[in-house]
A = this chain, B = another copy of it.
Amino acid sequence: MGAQLPRSPLAPDGFPDLPRIGGLSVATAEAGLRYSGRPDVMLARLAPGSAVAGVFTRSATRSAAVLDCQSKIRFHSQAGAAILVNSGNANAFTGKAGEDAVKALTRAVAGVLDVPEARVFSASTGVIGEPLPHEPITARLGNLAAALSPDGLAQAARAIVTTDTFPKGSGTTVKIDGQPVRIAGIAKGSGMIAPDMATMLVYIFTDAAIDQPILQSIVSALNETTFNCITVDGDTSTSDTLLVAATGASGIRVTEHSMAFMEGLRRVMLDLAHQIVRDGEGATKFVTVSVTGASSDRDARTHAKAIANSPLVKTAIAGEDPNWGRVVMAVGKSGAPADRDTLTIWFGDILVARDGWVNPEYSEDAAARYMKNADIEIHVDLGLGGGRATVWTCDLTHGYIDINADYRS
């Protein structure tokens, strides 16, 4: 598996205290699929009445587990539900055998926990193209079921990682009609060693009571401005999965008009999304790219992603070089409308260029000093309309090459 990677310099100080979610219990186990001396399987049980919503990779070569989850996510039931995740083997591009493994695993979980098979969601992350040996997992399901605990989520954050350099968690408690509603989530992100893949897995739980279609529409909408607005290298995994489960244990009913709940969920999703970027392969800078003044929000996102995915922009940031010319280049190549002569660019508070040329008061020295920060903000105003978007990314460094080229499994 190559050497253990050092903890990202952008990592948070520690793992947060997550609120306990009624109706959720979690256990982990060591199945030894690829890693040893650490948990690599997580099992979560959701109480009867839980609603589960999901967003999945749009890859045309998505994994068997993703296809299985997608087929089940709209199944409405008052029965309980379960989530099974393993790290070490992605069970992706494994043909019919991959589908059989998903079926065997979800059926076994259904039997052990007495929930419908159509309510068992699974995910796998790790090496691709190797058959998933599901027996080591099914053999441990009895022990996992016995170990299910309301406090298991923090340990689960450690079980689902592959080569992440820190476990990722986020939680909040919001008040609805004066009553507390809790939200807690975990994620794994884009650390990997060849031939693993940078799968993003996110599991968020709340004790709010929400109808599944409403939960799904809230999650889909919030996903657009959180997880869909982060990028490490523009590559898309075959297995990206976000599940949000609402157990209803708080007894507080949430609708699409519950702004406090949506804001709390958005905060947790954005925090986890940012943590994934902060653990980007080789990252030394956390970069916020804001685009305003576009013809539409969609155009703004196209520009922001072009900037955030540009290897030339990302290497310049790694080199602490205020290379605004590369930002102009990225805007130009994005395919969305732009007018050179109405472009304005800021690095942080520094006005770099406006009206199609460098700002006469621009100081390269001041900009170079700004680029030494660990958190960098690039703001482009197109001067065309009211469209806006924000995208988060990291820099492209020797560390990325080290992780993806130099190590061999």
B-binding residues in A (CB < 8 A): 57-62, 92-95, 97, 127-130, 194-195, 197-198, 233-238, 309-312, 315-316, 318-319, 321, 323-326, 328-334, 336-341, 343, 353, 355-358, 395-398, 400-401, 404-408
Contact A92 B235 (CB under 8 A): no
Q: How far is the CA of A398 from the CA of B341 in the complex (A)?
A: 36
On whether the beta carbons of B397 and A128 are closer than 8 Å, the reply is no
- Return 26 A-B CB contacts under 8 Å, by A number: A60-B331, A60-B333, A60-B340, A61-B328, A61-B343, A93-B358, A95-B356, A127-B325, A128-B328, A129-B324, A129-B357, A194-B316, A195-B316, A195-B323, A197-B326, A197-B329, A234-B309, A236-B333, A238-B328, A311-B404, A312-B404, A315-B401, A316-B405, A319-B406, A321-B405, A397-B405
Q: A60-B331, A329-B61 are in contact. Are A404 and B357 (CB under 8 A)?
A: no
Q: A93-B328, A321-B405 are in contact. List 10 more A-B contacts (CB 8 A).
A: A59-B329, A61-B329, A93-B358, A197-B325, A234-B311, A318-B401, A319-B404, A319-B408, A397-B405, A398-B398
Cα–Cα, bound, A369→B123 (Å): 33
Instruction: Specify which of A237, A309, A356 lies most central, judged by the most chain B CB atoms within 10 Å of its CB.
Output: A356
The distance in angstroms between the C-alpha atoms of A334 and B353, with both chains bound, is: 34
Asked if A398 meets B401 with Cβ closer than 8 Å, knowing A338-B61, A408-B321, the reply is yes
Kindly report how many copies of this chain are found in the complex they form together: 2
Determine which residue in A237, A238, A310, A405 has the highest number of CB atoms from chain B within 10 A of its CB, and name it. Answer: A405
* Chain B residues in 8 Å Cβ range of A325: 92-93, 127-129, 195, 197
Q: How far is the CA of A59 from the CA of B93 in the complex (A)?
A: 37
Set of chain B residues within 8 Å of A238, measured between Cβ atoms:
328-329, 332
Q: Do B408 and A357 touch across chains, with their CB atoms under 8 A apart?
A: no
Contact partner of A353 (CB less than 8 A), chosen from B93, B197, B198, B406, is B93
A358→B330 CA distance, assembly (Å): 37
Q: How far is the CA of A59 from the CA of B338 in the complex (A)?
A: 9
If A61-B331, A129-B324 touch, whether A404 touches B194 (CB-CB below 8 Å) is: no
